[in-house]
Amino acid sequence: MPKTGIITFHRSYNCGSMLESYAIQRYLSKIGIENEIIDFSNIGQRKLYAIFFECNSIKNIIKNILLIPHKRRIDRNNAKYEEFKEKYMTLSEEEYYDIKQLSDTGYDIIIAGSDQIWNITIQDGDEAYFLPWVHRAKKVAYAPSFGAKNILVWAEKPEKYKTWLDDFAALSIREKNGAKWMWELTGKSAEILPDPTLLLDEEEYDKLLDMHIYSHTNYIFFYCPSFQNDICKMVKKISDKYNMKVIVWSTKSYYTRAVYRYGFKLPVYESPSVYLSLIKGAELVITTSYHGAIFSTIFRKKIYVIKNGGMYGDDDRVKTLLESIRMSERLISCEYRDDYDYLQTVNYEIYEQELERLRKKAYDYLVKNVKTNQNIVDNGILV
């Protein structure tokens, strides 16, 4: 049977990255596409998720000093991410860390995406995700993101990226700005498709929950990767108003940014399964995170996405997401209002309708661009 390879950020010790990797693989399998994730992770990615930061600046040295007492805890978290990867993902037999090692031998289709694999400014970015190493297999992009970085602005030689993108048989993208930049760079239209995490139902994610963590206690789950002080202060006021504890995410940021001074708590350990469990069990989710917003809606939670600096500029990732599922009212500015009911019920009726539309669009795209190579079956994916 023909085989599809997926290349994405599956080895990132980041819940959004790992869960989108799981979701695209699981969804393809559900519609009858044999696939595996190509086990590629460059040196930059491995350094990015190491326990300590590179000692290449005074700032990083100070961060490392702050992290030394918590090394054991961070190491345990990383091990939990590895456990999730090994348990829930099907990977290629070979492991790769350099583009020169990659080959499309044995594959009929290579899918690039999703996540910020086309963000050329990040440490774990790599030319490998533009598939210049694929010479025979069909190249298909599934909802990759430029990560709010226009290649025409940020690349020294944008023409090489244009050449690589021109070679794709099917192009799609995750955000509106990404579609605009794709047209400006290549003159080609790219469909805006939903993140793969939206393609699976809540019941699929229930199978991944860590039942040692999951509970129905009265708490706010708060995840803001940058942990900006103004946002933390707003969350603190909301928690005080409702007398609710706050559980946060990201151990390294918790200690290097002294988030503990707000009285917020970390889970005992971290993994994608714990992340899902804490979102599902929360009374309220407050986040600036793209995938934090997605999983809050999948579990039909009360949620607010707080605008951070990037959302006022080119970063339309969250805005595109919330517009696509008709939940733009859940995006609010960082301004606490004592007279506002932050625990008001969320109406998910329109969301349900939009979600079905987005899933059908994704299904149709995969049928159109993969069906010629594989036999796709409908296992109840569509109504």
For residues 3-25, give the mean pLDDT: 97
- The pLDDT value recorded for residue 374 is 53
For residues 12-27, give the mean pLDDT: 97
Residue 336 has pLDDT above 50, yes or no: yes
Q: How far is CA 129 from CA 42, 112, 283, 346, 357, in A?
A: 11, 6, 38, 38, 28
Q: How far is CA 272 from CA 80, 87, 159, 364, in A?
A: 8, 12, 37, 29
- The pLDDT value recorded for residue 185 is 97
Reported as a single tens digit per residue, the pLDDT across 304-319 is 999 887 776 778 889 9
Residue 380 has pLDDT above 50, yes or no: no
Residue 226: pLDDT band (50, 70, 90) is confident
Where is 14: in which H helix or E strand? none
Report the chain's mean pLDDT, rounded to a whole number: 93
Task: Report which of 273, 288, 182 is spatially closest to residue 235, judged by C-alpha positions.
Answer: 288
Distance in angstroms (rounded) separating the CA atoms of residues 235 and 212: 26
Residue 370: pLDDT band (50, 70, 90) is confident
Residue 381 has pLDDT above 80, yes or no: no
- The pLDDT value recorded for residue 156 is 94
Backbone φ and ψ for 184, nearest 5 degrees, come out as: -65, -35
With DSSP H G I counted as helix, E B as strand and the rest as coil, what are the percentages for the chain, rounded to 5? Answer: 45, 15, 40
CB neighbours of 72 closer than 8 A, spacing ≥ 6? Answer: none
- The pLDDT value recorded for residue 45 is 94
Q: How far is CA 152 from CA 79, 172, 176, in A?
A: 38, 18, 16
Q: Which fold has domain 202-346?
A: Rossmann fold (3.40.50)
Which class would CATH give 4-200+355-370? Answer: alpha beta
CB neighbours of 306 closer than 8 A, spacing ≥ 6? Answer: 224, 231, 234, 286, 287, 288, 332, 333, 334
Distance in angstroms (rounded) separating the CA atoms of residues 228 and 235: 11
Contact 304, 323 (CB under 8 A): no
Contact 182, 190 (CB under 8 A): yes
Residues in the chain: 383
Contact 141, 190 (CB under 8 A): yes
Half-sphere exposure of 156 (CA within 13 A, CB side): 0
CB neighbours of 156 closer than 8 A, spacing ≥ 6? Answer: none
Q: Domain limits of the chain?
A: 4-200+355-370, 202-346
Reported as a single tens digit per residue, the pLDDT across 142-163 is 999 999 999 999 999 999 999 9
Distance in angstroms (rounded) separating the CA atoms of residues 23 and 1: 22
Of residues 63 and 312, more confidence is placed in 63
Task: Report which of 139, 155, 141, 147 is spatially closest to residue 175, judged by C-alpha positions.
Answer: 147
- The pLDDT value recorded for residue 383 is 31
Q: How far is CA 251 from CA 16, 71, 164, 361, in A?
A: 16, 10, 38, 37
Distance in angstroms (rounded) separating the CA atoms of residues 160 and 166: 10
For residues 198-203, give the mean pLDDT: 97
Neighbouring C-beta atoms of residue 56, cutoff 10 Å: 8
Neighbouring C-beta atoms of residue 345, cutoff 10 Å: 7
- The pLDDT value recorded for residue 253 is 95
**DSSP reduced 3-state for 244:** coil
- The pLDDT value recorded for residue 280 is 95
Distance in angstroms (rounded) separating the CA atoms of residues 351 and 251: 32
- The pLDDT value recorded for residue 377 is 46
Backbone φ and ψ for 382, nearest 5 degrees, come out as: -105, 155
| High-pLDDT (> 70) share of the chain, % | 95
Task: Report which of 22, 190, 168 is spatially closest to residue 109, judged by C-alpha positions.
Answer: 168
- The pLDDT value recorded for residue 372 is 56
- The pLDDT value recorded for residue 376 is 46
- The pLDDT value recorded for residue 55 is 92
Do the domains 202-346 and 4-200+355-370 match in fold?
yes
Residue 208: pLDDT band (50, 70, 90) is very high
